[in-house]
Structure 1
Amino acid sequence: MRDFSVMTDHPILSVRGLSIARDGKALLGVDHLDLDGPGPTIILGPNGAGKSLLLRCLHGLITPDRGTVTQGGQTLTDQVRAGQAMVFQRPVLLRRSVAGNLDFVLRRRGLSRAARKTECEGLLAQGGLEDKARQSARSLSGGEAQRLAILRALACKPSVLFLDEPTSALDPQATQEIEQMVLRASDQGLRVVMVTHDIGQARRLARDVVMMHGGRVVEQGLAAQMFAAPENGMIRRFLSGGLMV
């Protein structure tokens, strides 16, 4: 797999003065956020904290009322966004075979038939789906479908991969398989930004953590430091199993 790392003097992702409100209610308010260095970055917080909304802003799916998002110092033009990929909580797969879902992306990259075959085989092996290649993607189990969705995102050769609670509906075995894929991709240089409300998962995966509550970033830092000694008392309660109110 190629080296996904981005060489730049700017943070990989930056947010400045971001805000979203609906019907007079503030949904998101992030004054300052920089995501840089190796990942994975985990956006953590309770349900309704604004995690998924922030992720969609980072991917350019939602235009904020105010503020900016940049990647490597560049605004999120279509060209910049083409270097990103996102996998949702519920994967959306094409009505094709497993291999056909991957080939669709590989064709759009302009690869030759031989190159597509080789890369498709490598991706299927990476996700443990070699024996499912000719099977309908819509017939996969939940965990298999999510693995395919991640493989299809990787086939785009992104520099940043966004994952929105990709294991929330999966059993422990399927969750472990997805987590291993996330760690392998990160180890190979891909910048992974993942949303979860699962503290245990954040502990297993995160290099750094963005903690959200009420649409705001309440703390950001290296995972080891934050989990050992969070500065914010509200976060201490959350990490110990208490409610953030």
Structure 2
Amino acid sequence: MMVPGVLPLRAEGLGFSAGGVEIIRGIDLTLRAGGPTMVIGPNGAGKSVLLRLLHGLLRPTAGRVAWALPEEVARKRQAMVFQRPVMLRRSVLANAEYPLKLAGLDPARAVAALERVGLSALAGRPARKLSGGEQQRLALARAWAMGPEVLFLDEPTASLDPAATRQVEAIVCAIAAQGTKVVMTTHDLGQARRLAEEVVLVVAGRVNTAGRAPDFFERPPSGEAAAFLRGDLLW
């Protein structure tokens, strides 16, 4: 029997305000199964807040986030990795095992996940002694081991050098190739070109455009999109 999936995910009139400031404004967006969706836009546009709302880390102050399955079910089938992931004061392997144990899953899955991200040889090392790129790969392994249907990534390569960035991008592609829906924010247009099947452009807390990546980059669908690709400042 086919198990129903959590997608599509819909943002319906989604809004979020904090301290009297409206950060996300009336967003309507549908995310479906398929290749990676890259969320791009100027600094301060609300990309990270949007991801946290979709993930459920923040509660909207307007509108709602609707999954295809009940929220309590969907929450168990998604994961999120942050730009600066938190490492527990434990070994690399214990970091990967910890969320599996909390979820009642087989901790042995952590070993396979570390192998997939190239960290098997460092399994016994303290996680907090890893380089930034290695910590990000561990965070991805920790999430991947959970088998999420949707994986939210908030600028996972923002502070990494080119070599570490390529390693992380390869892992993201591998996760997506296994059927996980990747939704990722980035400020790197080259990265968006390399990874995206779909692009969502956020400007001033609103979705300006959303659609296929080739169309976005070859035929910008709005004046703001064209300006953003030229490197013009958007407010």
Aligned with 2:48 (options 45, 48, 52) = 52
Task: Give the direction of change, closer, same or farther, for the CA distance of 1:236–1:111 in structure 2 (3 Å limit).
Answer: closer
Deviation (angstroms), 1:21: 2.1
Give the match for residue 184 of structure 2: 194
Q: 5 Å matches for 1:217-236?
A: 217-236=207-226
Aligned with 2:17 (options 17, 21, 39) = 21
- Give SS of 2:27's match: strand
Alignment identity in percent?
47
Task: Note if contact 2:38-2:185 (Cα within 8 Å) is conserved in structure 1.
Answer: yes
Note the alpha carbon deviations across 1:127-185, whole angstroms, 9 max, x for none.
10011010000000000000000110112221110000000000000000000000111
1:38 aligns with 2:34: yes
AA partner of residue 219 (structure 1)? T
Quick one: distance in 1 between partners of 2:92 and 2:19? Answer: 42
Deviation (angstroms), 1:11: 4.7
- Give SS of 2:209's match: strand
> RMSD over aligned Cα, in angstroms?
1.8
Task: Note if contact 2:110-2:142 (Cα within 8 Å) is conserved in structure 1.
Answer: no
TM-score with structure 1 setting the length: 0.90
Q: 5 Å matches for 1:114-153?
A: 116-117=107-108, 119-153=109-143
Quick one: distance in 2 between partners of 1:39 and 1:72? Answer: 18
Note the alpha carbon deviations across 1:96-133, whole angstroms, 9 max, x for none.
10011112123234345xxx33x232111101001101
Aligned with 1:212 (options 193, 202, 215) = 202
1:102 aligns with 2:96: yes
TM-score with structure 2 setting the length: 0.94
Deviation (angstroms), 1:23: 3.9
1:67 aligns with 2:57: no
Quick one: distance in 2 between partners of 1:132 and 1:23? Answer: 43
AA partner of residue 38 (structure 1)? G
Task: Note if contact 1:28-1:216 (Cα within 8 Å) is conserved in structure 2.
Answer: yes
Give the match for residue 86 of structure 2: 92
Quick one: distance in 1 between partners of 2:104 and 2:227? Answer: 51
Task: Note if contact 2:110-2:141 (Cα within 8 Å) is conserved in structure 1.
Answer: no
Task: Note if contact 1:59-1:162 (Cα within 8 Å) is conserved in structure 2.
Answer: yes
Aligned with 1:12 (options 5, 8, 13) = 8
**Which piece of structure 1 moves more, 22-31 or 57-66?**
22-31
**Which piece of structure 1 moves more, 64-73 or 82-91?**
64-73
Aligned with 1:81 (options 53, 75, 94) = 75
Task: Note if contact 2:208-2:224 (Cα within 8 Å) is conserved in structure 1.
Answer: no
Deviation (angstroms), 1:37: 2.8
Quick one: distance in 2 between partners of 1:30 and 1:83? Answer: 26
Which 5+ residue runs of structure 1 have no aligned equivalent?
none
Deviation (angstroms), 1:73: 5.0
Deviation (angstroms), 1:6: 7.5
User: How many residue pairs are counted as aligned between the two chains?
Assistant: 234
Quick one: distance in 2 between partners of 1:232 and 1:185? Answer: 31
**Which piece of structure 1 moves more, 119-128 or 185-194?**
119-128
Task: Note if contact 2:91-2:127 (Cα within 8 Å) is conserved in structure 1.
Answer: yes
AA partner of residue 21 (structure 1)? S
Task: Note if contact 1:56-1:62 (Cα within 8 Å) is conserved in structure 2.
Answer: yes
AA partner of residue 53 (structure 1)? V
